[in-house]
Amino acid sequence: MAKVTQISTRKSDHIRINLEEDVRSKLTSGLERFRFIHQALPELNLEEVDLNLDLFGRRLKAPLLISSMTGGTEEARQINLTLAEAAQATGIAMGLGSQRAAIDHPELIPSFQVRQVAPDILLFANLGAVQLNYQYGLQECLRAVEMIEADALILHLNAVQEAVQPEGNTHFAGLIHKIEAVCKALPVPVIAKEVGWGFSERAARLLSDAGVAVIDIAGAGGTSWSQVEMHRSETESQRRLAAAFIDWGIPTADSIRMVHRTAPELTIFASGGIRSGVDIAKCIALGATMGGMASPFLKAAVKSLQNTIEVIHEIEREIRVCMFAAGAGNLEMLHQTDLIEVNPYA
Ligand SMILES: Cc1cc2nc3c(=O)[nH]c(=O)nc-3n(C[C@H](O)[C@H](O)[C@H](O)COP(=O)(O)O)c2cc1C
């Protein structure tokens, strides 16, 4: 029971710190360096711009993902249900937070289950990849997928977050072989995801060779987990260690280009500091298939379901107008659209 209490405290801390503190990276996403070429004559009708996307057997009405966040407490259950209901109402995708708590403590499973309100959404399970070096294996991955009826499994990579915590799981050696084994045996696709520091070319190559279907960038420029951990630190020394990483990581725009260049066959989800539909459209033009956001959706969900749906509609509208004014009638055309890079190293 003490362990359950510890997990609940950590999950509540994460939500509270993300809502109350400034936990932004000192880096920007890099997307501000890119511009579309405006088309005065788009030769399109705005309402006919097609945002639909088919992925893993599900149809999305917009290329938008509510990034993995939470589970494990009553507050988290409410947030998950609000997010899932909004995703169902608007036809977008969603990831649940790390399910380790529910695997170790099955009484927490209901706080992750959302299919009762979101039967049709593209839904992702989530576990820390490093747990594969701490006695987790295929069975735990399968349980994570089955307990929430997910369409794919996200394995998140959070080396810096683990390294700046006193209780962190930092045995990352040999992990790629474990990830490869899961990719081979799991009946659903595996998505490798960062949590806010992005993927390099080297990481993309290893993960692509290991058989992941998707890389979810979660690059630098948005929520910084070293900053979150800094606010959880119990000693000055821990605090300073976490604070030293405020400008760590690969900005989202740069990471998308690195991964796309290295493994063009991989599907890319863009995330990390994405804050508008225009950002998402830029990411798709840079090589991504869809864009995800975490922090903005957390802030919307704690207000209300209505607010969350409005935020989603606003983002969708921005993507639509952006595609219209760039002359891209569908997502494939957006993918092929060139961007201008302004001030490459500003
Ligand atoms: C409250 C909160 C909890 C999170 N928990 C997880 C998690 O359990 N698993 C995971 O892969 N990412 C987790 N993340 C990271 C997000 O999915 C995302 O990659 C990161 O916050 C960057 O996106 P953003 O800048 O839009 O917030 C969490 C983020 C937030 C804000």
d(Cα 87, Cα 180) in Å, to the nearest integer? Answer: 31
For the CA of 295, the nearest atom of ligand 1 = 27
Q: What is the pLDDT of residues 20-64, one digit of tens each?
A: 999 999 999 999 999 999 999 999 999 999 999 999 999 999 999
Predicted local confidence at residue 345, as pLDDT? 58
How does pLDDT run across 251-277, given as a tens digit for each residue? 999 999 999 999 999 999 999 999 999
To test ligand 1's pocket by mutation, which of 31, 79, 231, 295 has the most ligand atoms within 8 angstroms of CB? 295
Q: 294 C-alpha to center of ligand 1: Å?
A: 5
Round to whole Å and give the CA distance between 137 and 285: 36
Q: Provide the 3-class DSSP secondary structure of residue 36.
A: strand
CA distances from 38 to 112, 188, 230, 287 (A): 43, 40, 42, 19
Mean pLDDT of all residues in 123-150: 98
How do residues 160-194 score in pLDDT, each as one tens digit?
A: 999 999 889 999 999 999 999 999 999 999 999 99
- At residue 1, does pLDDT exceed 60? no
Q: Which residues does a 6 A CB cutoff place in the pocket of ligand 1?
A: 14-15, 18, 67-70, 97-98, 126, 154, 156, 193, 195-196, 218, 222-223, 271-274, 293-295, 298
Supply the pLDDT for residue 185.
Answer: 98
Read off the tokens for 2: 């003490």
Length of the chain: 346
Q: Pick the closest to residue 98 from 138, 50, 153, 55 (CA basis).
A: 153
List of residues 6+ apart from 69 with CB closer than 8 A: 79, 83, 95, 96, 97, 294, 297, 298
Residue 343 has pLDDT above 80, yes or no: no
